[in-house]
Structure 1
């Protein structure tokens, strides 16, 4: 599986290269997982996005994290480093090959007691969860973001942050749907719907960040879910 979005950044190439090469690399097994994924084209967050999430988690020091889209466990391993002493991370993936590789990577790092890995479709699993999370990272099926959004907001504590990855489709999110290849029109339509409902909401604070293929961030500021 090729990581297409690694090659579709939304800012100029020279700046992307600087962000990927000018920032310090990660260390230890987190670095090994990142290198393994990049060498094989496995879809994990690019280095500039990873550095941002690393910085954010170090600042927040969350107690509870939820991730939708585990892949081989790179971002989960990265975020788990910044959990509080009694903290816990739950991550969901529906692909058995990814699930097994992630499980191996967590075991190698001694993270089995800090990370709970759930295998299955997030549409089925999210309604079963009832914890309040400080941080939720959504990096899965783009066409389903809008479907997962209400459940994520339900699970997010007041003041908690939801990060949604790959929301620009290489910049094509702004194109007329008729110019979008038919195979990705549903993604295009659903991502535009996501932007519309999130960015116009006055109940919660949101922002867009042009890292990788774009991040949409939401801070929960009300118990009212208007999505």
Structure 2
């Protein structure tokens, strides 16, 4: 628990209903254990997207397209999202969801490993949302920064790891120690990079918001 459960429940109770399609996508994903962003994180992402008024968005980690469509719902008509997904079993569902939403022209889904696909992108991107393999955030960061415009925003999800981030590496499960260490390094880099101004927001599973100087 990062934020008091009663506070989280109250925040969620204030949220207006999502569109029927997006609500169904999120509900189905959570029931099936698909790692989509939490409801309070969804509201935060939509607000940041609206505030940035981006023309080009990069998302690393599509899953079934839930967060992609949340951003599409509030972005300008002439904005375009490039989203990357590696897990083959989720890609057809994401494509189907984009078709149902009528967003296939404003969303480009790239299939494959993010490290390789990022090399082929040109940018610049106004907004980047990272929500894929947490242990790779630090490795992807240099290329992400190259693709971002000055003044662009980078949002990274799941950075507090259910609160485990404050524990010593020996207090977390052995299988999570590598990710734990890399996430700590990532957070340190975000906060100390001369290229970024970063805040850590303790909602959902923890989010960072970084602005490229």
Relative to the length of structure 1, the TM-score reads 0.90
Give the equivalent residue in structure 2 for 1:36. Answer: 28
Q: Deviations over 1:63-102 (max 9, x none)?
A: 1000000010000011012332221100000011111110
Displacement of 1:106 after TM fit?
A: 0.1
Give the equivalent residue in structure 2 for 1:6. Answer: none
Q: Deviations over 1:108-131 (max 9, x none)?
A: 111110000001010111011011
Deviates more, 1:196-205 or 1:42-51: 196-205
The 4+ residue runs of structure 1 with deviation greater than 3 A are none
Give the equivalent residue in structure 1 for 2:53. Answer: 61
Give the equivalent residue in structure 2 for 1:106. Answer: 98
Displacement of 1:190 after TM fit?
A: 0.1
CA contact (8 A) 1:71 1:99 kept: yes
> How many angstroms apart in 1 are the aligned matches of 2:142 and 2:194?
15
Displacement of 1:20 after TM fit?
A: 2.0
Superposition pairs for residues 109-148 of structure 1, below 5 Å?
Answer: 109-148=101-140
Displacement of 1:179 after TM fit?
A: 1.6
Cα RMSD after superposing both structures = 1.2
Q: In the superposition, relative to structure 1, how do residues 78 and 41 fare at CA in structure 2: closer, same or farther (>3 Å)? A: same
Pick aligned residue for 2:183 from 191, 216, 220: 191
Q: Deviations over 1:26-82 (max 9, x none)?
A: 123112211221222221000000011111212222110000000100000110123
CA contact (8 A) 1:64 1:83 kept: no
Give the equivalent residue in structure 1 for 2:166. Answer: 174
Number of corresponding residues: 213
Residues 1:86 and 2:78 are matched in the alignment: yes
Deviates more, 1:143-152 or 1:56-65: 56-65
> How many angstroms apart in 1 are the aligned matches of 2:13 and 2:92?
30
Give the equivalent residue in structure 1 for 2:143. Answer: 151
Deviates more, 1:78-87 or 1:164-173: 78-87
CA contact (8 A) 1:64 1:87 kept: yes
Secondary structure of 1:81's aligned partner = helix
In the alignment, structure 1 segments of 5+ residues that lack a partner are 1-8, 222-227
Give the equivalent residue in structure 2 for 1:214. Answer: 206
> How many angstroms apart in 2 are the aligned matches of 1:66 and 1:176?
33
Residues 1:20 and 2:17 are matched in the alignment: no
